[in-house]
Amino acid sequence: MSATLPNITIDTREEFQHLSLAPVAEAVIDLRAVATENFDEKSALNHLTPLLEGYRYLDSHQEVQIKQHLNLQGEAPPPLEHTLTWKGLRFTTNEGNKIAQFGRTGFSFSRLAPYDQWEMFFDEAMKLWGIYRLLAKPEEITRLGLRFINKIDLKPGDGDFERYLNSAPKPPKGLSLPFLGFLHQETFAAPPHPYAVTLVRTIQEPQEPGAGFSIIVDIDVFTHFVRNFSEDLIPKMLQEMRWLKNRVFFGSISEAALEDLK
């Protein structure tokens, strides 16, 4: 007999405490879509450049595929075959803290630190998504994702992860071994909603001499159940996914850590 999963009530009106030192290293809205309009690098660049006020061209995304056919007759193998496929364009602001990617298989918008507030991040993503729709004319979305990568810097020598994380990792019982690293990943359902949440908690080694470890709390809320989307469906789903993201974040961080981030 299978266990009955408890239903979750999503309340997008719920208010979460404001963190003036929010540890968001990167926030991403990702829409993987099936483009119905055929476009190449040159036509996409010509179409997007005049529409993206405040953005400049960053780079072109290429995918390299390498193939080699095996020879079973003992002869020398043929040379490798390299196939270069154009995937999309990236644009960024002059400050470099916003990145928009427009590709044949979807659109994504990233906000790097310092993260301001949800309304500005969300509005900018929806504006750019509208521009992508003009370019690609997608009729189906295969994945909608909202990802927040949080980075909490610790003081040099601080390895007391229990002070920062709820359900913090511990060394084996009876062995007071110091951590050199850890990686925990869980994926949760959110019944009866079509969402799932992947939570990754890990640490990053000091990036420069005299620095401490950093705790990474990576939260990815996503769904594959987006088919015939309407103008108001995507914003509604993103608001619900944001609520889930907040609940996971505030449920993963200790009260002491939240006090430090206020």
Convert the pLDDT of each residue in 85-106 to its tens digit.
778 999 999 999 999 999 999 9
| In-domain check, residue 18 | no
Strand order in the sheet with 81-93: 55-67, 81-93, 98-103, 106-112, 24-34, 140-153, 214-223, 196-204, 183-189
- Residue 68's pLDDT is what? 52
Residue 221 class from Cβ within 10 Å (0-12 exposed, 13-18 middle, 19+ buried)? buried
Could you report the per-residue pLDDT of 109-137, keeping only the tens digit for each?
999 999 989 999 999 999 999 999 999 99
Higher-confidence position of 169 and 236: 236
Please report where in the chains the tokens 């310092």 appear, as a residue: 114
Backbone angles phi, psi at 92, to 5 degrees: -140, 160
**pLDDT band for position 1 (cuts 50, 70, 90):** very low
Determine if residue 156 is left, alpha or beta; phi over 0 gives left, psi from -120 to 50 gives alpha, anything else beta.
Answer: beta
Q: What total of structural domains would you count in the chain?
A: 1
Contact in structure between 130 and 235 (CB atoms under 8 Å):
no
As given in the structure block, the two tokens for residue 171 are: 């060394």
- Residue 4 domain-assigned (yes or no): no
pTM for the whole thing?
0.87
10 falls within a domain: no
Decide if 14 is inside a domain: no
Percent of the chain with pLDDT over 90: 62
49-87: per-residue pLDDT in tens? 999 999 999 999 776 556 555 555 656 566 666 556 778
Whole domain around residue 174: which residue ranges? 24-67+79-261
Asked whether the beta carbons of 192 and 213 are under 8 A apart, the reply is no
Assigned domain for 7 exists: no
* pLDDT given at position 225: 77
Q: Is residue 226 part of a domain?
A: yes
Q: Sign of the CA dihedral 191, 193, 196, 197?
A: negative
Q: Name which residue leads in pLDDT, 210 or 145.
A: 145
Work out whether strand 55-67 and strand 183-189 pair parallel, antiparallel, or are unpaired: unpaired
- The pLDDT-based confidence of 232 (bands split at 50, 70, 90) is confident
Give the pLDDT mean for 176-202: 90
**Does residue 73 form part of some domain?**
no
Give pLDDT tens digits for 11-58: 999 999 889 999 999 999 999 998 899 888 999 999 999 999 999 999
In the predicted model, what is the mean pLDDT of residues 217-236?
88
What local confidence, expressed as pLDDT, does residue 154 receive? 87
The answer to the question of residue 1 being in a domain is: no
Computed over every residue of the chain, the mean pLDDT equals 88
The H or E element containing residue 24 is strand 24-34
210 band by pLDDT with thresholds 50, 70 and 90:
confident
Q: Which residues contact 27 (CB under 8 A, 6 or more apart)?
A: 110, 111, 115, 121, 147, 148, 149
Q: Find, among 105, 103, 152, 117, the residue nearest to 259 by Cα.
A: 152
pLDDT of 192 > 60? The answer is yes
